[in-house]
Structure 1
Amino acid sequence: MKNTAQTEPFLVIGNWKMNGTRELLHKFACDLETTAPAGCTQVLCLPSVIIPNAVDALADHNIEIGGQNCSSHPSGAFTGEVSSTMLVEAGAKWVIVGHSERRTGFSETDEEVNSKADAAITGGLVPIICVGECSADREDGRHLDVILDQLAASTPSNLQLGEAVIAYEPVWAIGSGKSASEDQVREAHDAIAAWLKENLVPLPVLYGGSVKPDSAADLAAIRNVDGFLVGGASLDPASFKGIGTVSSETLSKAQR
């Protein structure tokens, strides 16, 4: 049985992080089908400087474009920052906020993530709000408390249906080459979906953490997994395409 939130297509969202060139965009344009796999929406979240290039390069493809971060401010004296309205003008429809690399490497707090998500929505973007536990949290058995505390503090309280997406990323799995086990993913996604239903509104919940074509089928079959936030594999057109294809095939026959 599908998650109540999954009235939208299964989301396959790539996060290129601080990677990407016009040459790579050209390769994606050449190697990917112009249509998305059945039942899926494909998104590439890119460094802001190549978003306009991506819009042009992928104009004939059914791929939406997003950013990787945005300011909580609409404009002003914030050197080096990029506002949500700037991302929209560049051609973005989505933006990642609160990625673990931002939380850890740039000391972003839940409150800052909340403000960025609110600014993204105000500016016309759909924020992908990231939450997830580190290895110590899981080893101590408090991973669900950490995840739900982050979720409560990072999501704007006035969210409406369709305005945002949640991404669960176990920090210990990102870049490790290993996905969380099916039971670990199921436990986290069920908890997040239940919290959203009880406290806010049902929203799609993505899984992120070393997703690859060979792990996508099992993960996509799990109830309350409404898509993927893909890191390293999204830099390879064949892998990104494969994740979408496998997900589409799984959803067409799975009873979740």
Structure 2
Amino acid sequence: MEIFLHSETWIAILTLTFLEVVLGIDNIIFISISANKLPKEQVRKATLLGLALAMVMRILLLFSISYLIALKDPFISFDVDWFRSGITGQSVILFLGGLFLLYKSTREIRHKVEHTEEEAILKTPKVISFSSVIVQIILIDLVFSFDSILTAVGMTNGINGALTIMVIAVIISILIMMIFAQPINNFVHKNPTIQMLALAFLILIGFMLIAEAAHLSHTEIFNQSVGVIPKGYLYFAIAFSLGVEMLNLRVRKK
């Protein structure tokens, strides 16, 4: 396909796959906690099934959200002395998505600092039924799919073939997690700053989505149009921060 001839496509796929894997660690942890309530011989089966369900759910959400983002005609307009805007379905989805990412990332950072969420799940009663555990896993997947998909939308919005890029990145990231679930889990537990870095990126992407929503609705504040944040700035920030963190990891090991 023509989109794969552009370097921007491959940069988006690699960056998004990395973020999906790192942000999917929480999903792996909670799936593992739920699966460990089963007999030992069923744990791996439940974990792999949970990740497969996560992939299916995220792809379905991708198609539904991509359809909603295609709604570009304004359905309500504001025109006052200092504020003008034409609200569209696309801008509403991006704006709410940005708010959700800001809320979810700050909440997750607090949980990482206080270690509250894992402890709460570990205190839940043991479940024996395989089907009950799968229902728990589906609910967990649903919660974690939203920030994953909104991250993908924020990273690829405006890029040619965005939906294809998002689907490819989701499939690759889930396959990586299926193969290397335990090693990835161990690595992030040993280096929690990696996941904190990814959550910080979510805050950046959340602000970017809100700015994108204002730009697409042609918002003007005090006669100044709201501009769009170039994706290249985001990719550079992620690559630079990740490079610095890799150097920090090497220094800490020595």
Whose radius of gyration is greater, 1 or 2?
2
TM-score, with structure 2 as normaliser: 0.25
Structure with more relative contact order (C-alpha pairs < 8 Å, separation 6 or more): 2
Considering fraction of residues, name the structure with more helix.
2
TM-score, with structure 1 as normaliser: 0.25
Considering fraction of residues, name the structure with more strand.
1
